[in-house]
Amino acid sequence: MTSEWLEWSRQEFGSADLGDSRRTARLVAMGAAACERPSGKVAAVFGVEREREGAYDFLESEHVAAEEIMASVAAATTARCASCRFVFVPVDGTSISVADRARTRDFGNVGSDSGGSRGLKVIDALAVEPEGTVGGWLALTFWARTADRKVLKRATYARKARPIEDKETRYWLQTVRGAATALDERGTRGWFQIDREGDNREILLALNETAHWWTVRSNQDRSIELDGGNTELLRSRMAERTVAGTYALDVTARPGRKARQAHMVVRVADAVLRLREPVSKRITRLRVTVVWAREEGTSPGEDDAIDWLLFTNREVSTFDEAKQVIYGYTQRWRVEECHRTWKSGDCDVEKTQLASSDAVKRWAIILAAIATRIERLKRLSRNHPDLPATVELTLLEIRALKMLHFGADGDTRIPSIAEVVAWLAELGGFTHKHSGQPPGTTVLGRGLRYLRPAARMLAIQQGCER
């Protein structure tokens, strides 16, 4: 293991307070090994039996708090983003499925209750720099659904009337507050971005209690309060607003959808939402800015039209400011890309064979940090192509990549991040003529699988030469 991989891991995990400096040192060593050979299977990362057994002991140890590992990752993330005037913070939910056919382990159902899949649910918060580069994780909240979840759903009181302690909404609140705390400790402004799951009384009020900006996509046609106390449905009110501006949005093709250029019409208004508490029926009023971006005239059918009704606490007085709100909402997709790399892509955490939920949490956080490193590499090459490759790759990785690409490494020049990503993509099978532009996560992951053993051999060679 080279000092360069260890240095990356120290920055990511070195501040974890695990009660003993030897545990933190073990975590840093494990992070470096996983960065060099990422895999959901611990045995695939640690080829030496002594290291492998040490990793299992660490992951199963009751003295290692997953929350402390996460706190170190969050601190590293905010340090990377310290120069940003703000960071977007997409908050999203996903799940980690694991093998538990006998259903004897302390996991819970994921997906539908009757689907049979087992694992952990996750709510996470990602830091994304203003131009779209992934900064890293700010919070990861894991839980296993309990066996009595169906009982709770069938309780005599209505689902919406259950106390927050009985709702999974509490994990969204925990994630929002954890991310806000990490940002506050560094003095960094966040701009939270949440899809329709966030259109919830408790989440909206929790966001509003922070010192940060936020945008939430509406999930329903809410009642708003007009001057004088009268009420009206929001969409009816917005339809009467003067158009603030229009823009063209390139819509990519996917199964069941053709590529097109959508004509987006934007309207903006201030509104007062009426948030009703289910049990007491008490109304809490929340003043927001509403930005409505809707496709008009270019969708194949009315139901297929892009329709984003966004609530935000940002003041919007110009069309450019409205477009910034819309752009921020689109950065929510960065977290979905990280999910793919983390769960089934290069890090493949769902292949884990660890036997307990606590061990899976610890290992998943380590691999989550590595997943964002891969996504950051991809985004930096697009947003800052002229930066030196050393911003993300080690000197050893760069040297090995030159040898794989050119057959030699005689050129001592440090290439740009765009150059090394292009070389990695070609290693992964990217062809500029047929693959399209730019290279994505899958092809870069394949390229990294070629690069890592080459860099490892160079490290061994350097050690022998010394």
Highest mean pLDDT among 73-82, 163-172, 247-256, 390-399: 73-82
For residue 102, the model assigns a pLDDT of 76
Higher pLDDT, 302 or 384: 384
**Is residue 341 within 8 Å of residue 445, measured between CB atoms?**
yes
Listed in order, strand segments (DSSP E) in 277-375 are 283-295, 307-312
Residue 312 has a CB neighbour count (10 Å cut-off) of 25
What pLDDT band is residue 253 in, cutting at 50, 70 and 90? confident
Angle (CA) 448 452 456, round 5°: 170
Q: pLDDT tier at 433 (50, 70, 90 boundaries)?
A: low
For residue 3, the model assigns a pLDDT of 66
In this prediction, residues 345-355 reach a mean pLDDT of 93
Residue 455 binned pLDDT confidence (cut-offs 50, 70, 90): confident
The mean per-residue pLDDT over the stretch 241-254 comes to 92
| pLDDT at residue 157 is higher than 90 | no
Percent pLDDT > 70 in the chain is: 92
Angle at 146 between CA 141 and CA 151, to 5 degrees: 130
Residues composing the chain: 466
DSSP 130: T
12-34 tens-digit pLDDT: 999 999 999 999 999 999 999 99
CA pair distance 370, 347, nearest whole angstrom = 7
Asked if pLDDT for residue 333 goes beyond 80, the answer is yes
What's residue 154's pLDDT? 53
Average of per-residue pLDDT across 110-129: 86
Highest mean pLDDT among 223-232, 328-337, 426-435: 328-337
Calculated CA dihedral for residues 347, 353, 355, 358, nearest 10 degrees: 0
Mean pLDDT calculated for residue range 226-232: 84
pLDDT at res. 259: 87
Q: CB of 384 within 8 A of CB of 132?
A: no
Q: Which pLDDT belongs to residue 146?
A: 79
Q: For the chain, give me the number of helices (H) and strands (E)?
A: 15, 12
In whole angstroms, what is the distance from residue 95 CA to residue 121 CA?
A: 4
87-108 average pLDDT score: 90
Is pLDDT at 174 greater than 90 in this prediction? yes
pLDDT at 113 over 60: no
**CA dihedral over 215, 135, 13, 72, signed as positive or negative:** negative
- Banded pLDDT at 156 (limits 50, 70, 90): very low
Task: State residue 119's pLDDT score.
Answer: 94
Q: What is the pLDDT of residue 466?
A: 46
Structure tokens at 80: 């990377």
362 pLDDT above the threshold of 80: yes
Report, as an integer, the average pLDDT of 410-439: 83
Give the model's pLDDT for residue 72.
98
pLDDT of amino acid 101: 76
Instruction: Rounding to the nearest 10 degrees, give the CA dihedral for residues 446, 451, 453, 458.
Output: 180
Radius of gyration of the chain (CA): 24
Kindly report the average pLDDT of the chain as a whole number.
90
Contact 322, 316 (CB under 8 A): yes
